[in-house]
Amino acid sequence: MDVSVKNAFDKLVTACGRVDAHRQKQKDGLPLKRLLAEDVHAFICLISKSGAEERYSCFNEVYQGGAYPSSELDCTVRDDLPRTFVVLNQFDISSKRKNSVQTAGLLVVFLSELGKSYLLSRLDKKDIDPKKYIDYIHSLQDALPRQEEERPSDTGKVSTDTATPKKPSQKAHSEESKDNEEPTEAAQEDEPEETLEELLEKLNALIGLAGVKQEVSTLINMIKIKKIRDARGLKTANVSKHLVFLGNPGTGKTTVARLLSKIYKQLGVLEKGQLVEVDRAGLVAGYVGQTALKTKEKIDEAMGGILFIDEAYTLAKGGSDFGQEAIDTILKAMEDNRENFVVIVAGYPEPMEQFLSSNPGLKSRFNKNILFEDYTESELFCIFNAFCQPYSMKLSDEAEECVKAYLHRLVQNKSEDFANGREMRNLFEAALSNQANRLAEKTDLSDEELNEIVKDDLPAWVIRPQSSDDFSVRKETG
């Protein structure tokens, strides 16, 4: 059983039950759960090159408790939208649900997770058509109603581990720190606060990260049960909220930390739920005494939320370095503010293990590690398509073959500092620039030309790799 699929399916089934309760007349006289089973069967048949019936039979037993065998379903092939989607969409429009997750969006999230589980499975991935899967999800996303109040999470769009791609602008190639900027305080006040359910849906919609999602889900459940026991006066074990994120760049560590800060607030663990991101330069000064003051400023800024320290191992250089002063100041703040201050340290796996072992105080306070694994070829291709999606851009067939071949080589020859999702962002931005140069001198451009990335738009290191250096990490282009 895939936990992400299970969570998405449970939320969808719950929503279907609510919608059924409000429907005056059920479409075709069937409950939504039955229509959903038929739509899932049709989806599996669409994306499966082979083994569709076996795949659905397994889904029915594992997720539906065997309630809807294919022999009892209407398996007529349809070219239009899934009937479940139509009913949920009509409910969303008629009820004018503002500042809330669309029920139709829940179906999109679920089918996205189900397709990914098949696509990324070691047993199934060769029998799944990724293009049909991606095109189908895109068609559902395009059919969702657009509302002024709608937020990106409401549409059920496939998310990536990196910052959400922005519309092209004069600053399209700005540095990553600017890409990840949070809204201003005034904008945050106007923006409605997301519910715990919406935040969890955002987490589950991230591409890949199955192990991370499971670890976070377990942590959340432990906190929930602890709060219930505390409220009833029962003894509870201490649940450490401080975490270690282990993984290479571009694996979604900052994205997950930002979501977790808001989730902690919704659970009542933190008062404000803000995330303050720092690295060594933001904590360590050049003179005695200044580091403690500089570190305390960041701690005060993060109080009531999470202090996220990237490449935390750089603080422990030894000798007369002032990094130890920053570590001592942070450890004292963690001890003095156990109920309203959380620290997450992040970095490469091996240096982080050495960092934690270097100080008994660190090892005792950071006893929960979450590993962010590198993305697979299929996941990287999904991330690239997620960057294309906001601009309605797609690869030509020839360009798609080149990108997939490049991703295969890249994963097989990746270096220790493999850039993961950032590599896909760099590839997309390079292709966007090359396409602009190719089309700039033309006139009477069609929408199809503007929205298509062809082979000639891909950078040379994708089309004609010359050495193993072509597969190493691409530095940020700034």
8 A C-beta contact, residue 373 and residue 211: yes
User: DSSP 3-state assignment of 290?
Assistant: helix
> What pLDDT, on the 0 to 100 scale, is given for residue 411?
87
Residue in 280, 261, 283, 278 with CA at minimum distance from that of residue 340: 261
Q: Which domains does the chain have, with CATH numbers?
A: 3-155 (no CATH), 193-367 (3.40.50.300), 377-471 (1.10.8.60)
The C-alpha atoms of residue 415 and residue 473 are separated, in whole angstroms, by 7
The C-alpha atoms of residue 59 and residue 65 are separated, in whole angstroms, by 9
> What pLDDT, on the 0 to 100 scale, is given for residue 399?
93
**pTM, whole model, 2 decimals?**
0.57
> What pLDDT, on the 0 to 100 scale, is given for residue 173?
34
> What pLDDT, on the 0 to 100 scale, is given for residue 90?
82
> What pLDDT, on the 0 to 100 scale, is given for residue 319?
56
> What pLDDT, on the 0 to 100 scale, is given for residue 181?
38
Count other C-beta atoms under 10 Å from residue 237's C-beta.
Answer: 9
> Is residue 469 packed enough to be buried (19+ CB in 10 Å), middle (13-18) or exposed (0-12)?
exposed
Read off the tokens for 312.
Answer: 């935390």
User: 342-374 burial, b for 16+ CB within 10 Å, e for fewer?
Assistant: bbbbbbbbeebeebbeebeebeebbeeebebbb
Read off the tokens for 136.
Answer: 């189908």
- Give, for all 478 residues of the chain, the pLDDT tens digit: 677 788 888 888 888 888 877 765 544 457 888 889 899 999 989 888 888 888 889 888 888 888 888 888 887 766 678 888 888 888 877 765 443 457 888 888 889 888 878 876 655 656 788 788 888 888 888 887 654 333 333 333 444 344 334 433 333 333 333 333 343 444 444 456 788 888 988 898 888 888 888 888 888 888 889 888 888 888 887 778 899 999 888 888 999 999 999 999 998 889 999 999 999 888 988 776 788 888 999 999 999 999 999 999 988 876 556 888 888 889 999 988 888 899 999 988 888 888 888 777 788 888 888 999 888 889 999 999 999 988 889 999 999 999 999 999 888 887 766 778 888 988 999 999 999 999 988 888 888 999 999 999 999 888 875 544 444 444 443 3
